[in-house]
Chains A and B, each alone.
Chain A
Amino acid sequence: MTISHFAKDAAEIALEKFNRGEIDRRSFLIALGGLGLAAAFKPGVARADASEIVVCNWGGAAADAFAKAYGDPFTKKSGMKVVIDGAGPAVGTIRAMVESGKVIWDATDGGMIDSLTLGKGNLVEKIDYTIVDKSQVPENFAGEFGVSNYVYSNVLAYDADATKGAAPTGWADFFDTAKFPGKRTMCKWIQGQLEFVLMADGVAPADLYPLDVDRAFKKLKPMLADIIFWEGGAQTQQLFREGEVVMGNIWHTRANLLNKETPDKFKWIWEQNILSASAWSVPKGNPAGKKVFDFINSTLDPAGQLVLLQIMGNGPSNPKTLALMTPADALVNPTTKENAASQIMLNPAYYAEHETELQNKYLDFISS
């Protein structure tokens, strides 16, 4: 998606927790550091300046918490200030910026798919792997135009009260309204949607791509009346809490929050979860030049990624983080071995090529 809906949602989760006092300022800042959001928040429009790193993300609401925090590890190490611009690095915005020659961002928080789209449009720099340590992340997380610093999954969450304690065993149960009566929810943004429909229809994970759109629509059609489509993570929690739906394809971070709220009622399964990776991208002609790669490299550090998992639930992109986890951490992490057993990985190359067309087809399908 050219808007990173997930990244936006992750920042919202942190802010909510911080506002409720569930996490202290320090942890909050460390967590955002893991997201690459630490150090400083300067409200208003960021100015291009070679002595600072300007990071664009989706969580502009956290202005107060960022304002005084100049003590980030990266700043300590490098002496460089990190400025956060919460404007949201949509692909369209980056394109407008690069094409007009007024680039103000050094690093943007998007998905692997965005990085490919941006790279194809010649709008971003190649990741400089002489500075960024490629060995910190699995091979498929270190793309030519983007390197991942966290991951997240689409999982099947359910209301155990409504299912009378019975647990679904895979996406097929999403469609089994005889066994699990009640409404469902899935996302109106296409990523990770048709995959689960096809798996429910019996397609083997290895044969998912290219997606058989017609087959997926055919499977989905009879269910449409029973599905409420969500567009933001907070909404998924709302739909479950209010008893509007009994089952749904939602982000694992939100499933985890629901479970923390009411452990016996809201649960999720890791079977056939669909993993997506974030990516840092560097707009062409970024003001800080090569220095941004030092910053990006620092976000691959396991310590920061662990805190990110503990605070927001985002999984680490660096496998070394697994060794640092407590059993409780491992339980809610999408890259833990047991949780990843039947996991499939969203195919960024396929989406970079087809997402626009697919998204519009999908919107047309669900609204007609």
Chain B
Amino acid sequence: MRNFKTTALLLTVPASLVAIGLYAAPILQVLALSLTEPKFGLANYQSLFANAAVGRVVMTTLKVSVMTTVLTVLASYIVAFAIIHMSAGWRRISLFLVLVPFWISVLVRAFSWITILRRRGVLNSALMEMGVISTPLDLVYNLFGVTIGMIHYMMPFAILLLYANLSDIDRRIMQAARSLGARPATIFWRVWLPLSLPGIALATLFVFVFSLGFLVTPALLGAGKTLMIAEYISVQISSTSRWDLATSLSTMLLLVVGIIVFAAMRSPALRAAFVARPQQ
């Protein structure tokens, strides 16, 4: 047994080396640059907090991320909840449809949304032809378009996380609730929802952390007006050569995400999501 454990541990060495070499080392390099560019010290972090423009970029990022997270988790919960109640055949088809967007590049998806949402796009044309609106709505190149694009990107992840959690819930509890006279709404609010909190917490954390780092979607669908952290960092690296700003902001983002994940992991709901369930 001991031998087996040692072998298993050794087998993880190559992957760890790759991860350290290609992931951890460059991150440390970024961290180092943030402390040494242009000279050694914490000055970059001081100016980061004094920089009102960075503050606005952070606020935009938070606003978009929170909106994306709330709407994604809500919509995904509905879809996942519907899927677990389907027959096996429909469930397979539905899960397949959920997976389809995974195979389409984020760029293509952003451009598709532009085609749908632009002033003479599919949606505006349809609404105008039906007489619902008389002038086209501004659905893209703004915060609204960015949020739509991001929700679309994040939903498959959230649906799968919630689906895994929901399908693990023991259905006999619902039968018991029903036999004790609970109405469907009561069963949902007092049985389904509390039992699915770990899944909701996990999906929320995942979507939120992911949203903080979005680059392509806001850049394309926001057309310069919705500036989020990742795009700001990318401009500072390649366009303005403000490596001091870029590296210190990257490090802060990493730190904040680390703290969020660490804090979230201590919550009972997320602990439950990761703790192995007792065998039934």
User: Does B99 sit at the interface, judged by CB under 8 A?
Assistant: no
Q: Which label, helix, strand, loop or mixed, suits the secondary structure of the A interface?
A: mixed
A355 to B118, CA, bound (A): 32
Query: Which residue in chain B gives the minimum CB-CB distance to A230?
Result: B223
Contacts of B92 in A (CB 8 A): none
A3 to B53, CA, bound (A): 22
A312 to B243, CA, bound (A): 34
Contacts of B223 in A (CB 8 A): 188, 228-230
Could you tell me if A355 and B227 are in contact, using CB atoms closer than 8 angstroms? no
Within 8 A of B (CB), among A314-368: 355-356, 359-361, 363-364, 366-368
Contacts of A155 in B (CB 8 A): none
A3, A90, A188, A243: the one contacting B224 at CB < 8 Å is A188
Could you tell me if B242 and A231 are in contact, using CB atoms closer than 8 angstroms? no
Could you tell me if A367 and B141 are in contact, using CB atoms closer than 8 angstroms? no
Within 8 A of B (CB), among A83-112: 90-92, 95
Could you tell me if B56 and A92 are in contact, using CB atoms closer than 8 angstroms? no
Could you tell me if B240 and A231 are in contact, using CB atoms closer than 8 angstroms? no
Query: Which residue in chain B gives the minimum CB-CB distance to A88?
Result: B238
Q: B40-56 toward A: CB 8 Å interface, digit per residue (1/0)?
A: 00000000000011001
Contacts of A16 in B (CB 8 A): none
Could you tell me if B240 and A360 are in contact, using CB atoms closer than 8 angstroms? yes
Q: B87-125 toward A: CB 8 Å interface, digit per residue (1/0)?
A: 000000000000000000000000000000011100000
Could you tell me if A359 and B56 are in contact, using CB atoms closer than 8 angstroms? no
User: Does A2 sit at the interface, judged by CB under 8 A?
Assistant: yes
Within 8 A of A (CB), among B119-136: 119-120
Query: Which residue in chain A gives the minimum CB-CB distance to B232?
Result: A363
Could you tell me if A364 and B56 are in contact, using CB atoms closer than 8 angstroms? yes
A364 to B224, CA, bound (A): 10
User: Does B239 sit at the interface, judged by CB under 8 A?
Assistant: yes
User: Does B148 sit at the interface, judged by CB under 8 A?
Assistant: no
A-B CB contacts (within 8 Å), total count: 69
A366 to B238, CA, bound (A): 19
Q: B19-60 toward A: CB 8 Å interface, digit per residue (1/0)?
A: 000000000000000000000000000000000110011001
- CB proximity of A114 to chain B, nearest CB, Å: 10
Could you tell me if A1 and B225 are in contact, using CB atoms closer than 8 angstroms? no
User: Does A189 sit at the interface, judged by CB under 8 A?
Assistant: yes
Contacts of A117 in B (CB 8 A): 241
Within 8 A of A (CB), among B49-93: 52-53, 56-57, 60
User: Does A214 sit at the interface, judged by CB under 8 A?
Assistant: no
User: Does B259 sit at the interface, judged by CB under 8 A?
Assistant: no
User: Does B147 sit at the interface, judged by CB under 8 A?
Assistant: no
Question: How many residues on the A side are at the interface (Cβ–Cβ under 8 A)?
Answer: 29
Contacts of B204 in A (CB 8 A): none
Could you tell me if B60 and A2 are in contact, using CB atoms closer than 8 angstroms? no
B224, B237, B241, B242: the one contacting A366 at CB < 8 Å is B224
User: Does A242 sit at the interface, judged by CB under 8 A?
Assistant: yes
Could you tell me if B57 and A243 are in contact, using CB atoms closer than 8 angstroms? no
Contacts of B160 in A (CB 8 A): none
Could you tell me if B224 and A229 are in contact, using CB atoms closer than 8 angstroms? yes
Decide: A355 near B53, CB < 8 A? Known: A231-B219, A242-B120: no
- CB proximity of A224 to chain B, nearest CB, Å: 8
Query: Which residue in chain B gives the minimum CB-CB distance to A366?
Result: B224
Could you tell me if A356 and B240 are in contact, using CB atoms closer than 8 angstroms? yes
Could you tell me if B238 and A367 are in contact, using CB atoms closer than 8 angstroms? no
Could you tell me if A363 and B242 are in contact, using CB atoms closer than 8 angstroms? no
A355 to B236, CA, bound (A): 12
User: Does B235 sit at the interface, judged by CB under 8 A?
Assistant: yes
Decide: A367 near B227, CB < 8 A? Known: A242-B118, A242-B120: yes
A127 to B225, CA, bound (A): 40
Contacts of B236 in A (CB 8 A): 360
User: Does A49 sit at the interface, judged by CB under 8 A?
Assistant: no
A229, A243, A356: the one contacting B242 at CB < 8 Å is A356
Could you tell me if B242 and A360 are in contact, using CB atoms closer than 8 angstroms? yes
- CB proximity of B25 to chain A, nearest CB, Å: 16
User: Does B211 sit at the interface, judged by CB under 8 A?
Assistant: no
- CB proximity of A163 to chain B, nearest CB, Å: 17
Could you tell me if A229 and B225 are in contact, using CB atoms closer than 8 angstroms? yes
User: Does A176 sit at the interface, judged by CB under 8 A?
Assistant: no
Contacts of B226 in A (CB 8 A): 367
Which positions in B face A, CB cutoff 8 Å?
Answer: 52-53, 56-57, 60, 118-120, 141, 219, 223-227, 232, 235-243
A-B contact pairs, 9 of them (CB 8 A): A2-B238, A2-B240, A228-B224, A229-B223, A230-B223, A356-B240, A359-B239, A366-B225, A367-B224
Closest 5 CB pairs of A and B: A229-B224, A367-B227, A364-B53, A188-B224, A356-B240
Could you list 18 further interchain pairs (A-B, Cβ under 8 angstroms) beyond the known A90-B238, A224-B225?
Answer: A3-B239, A91-B241, A92-B243, A95-B241, A188-B224, A228-B224, A229-B224, A242-B118, A242-B119, A243-B120, A244-B119, A244-B120, A356-B242, A359-B239, A360-B53, A361-B53, A367-B225, A367-B227
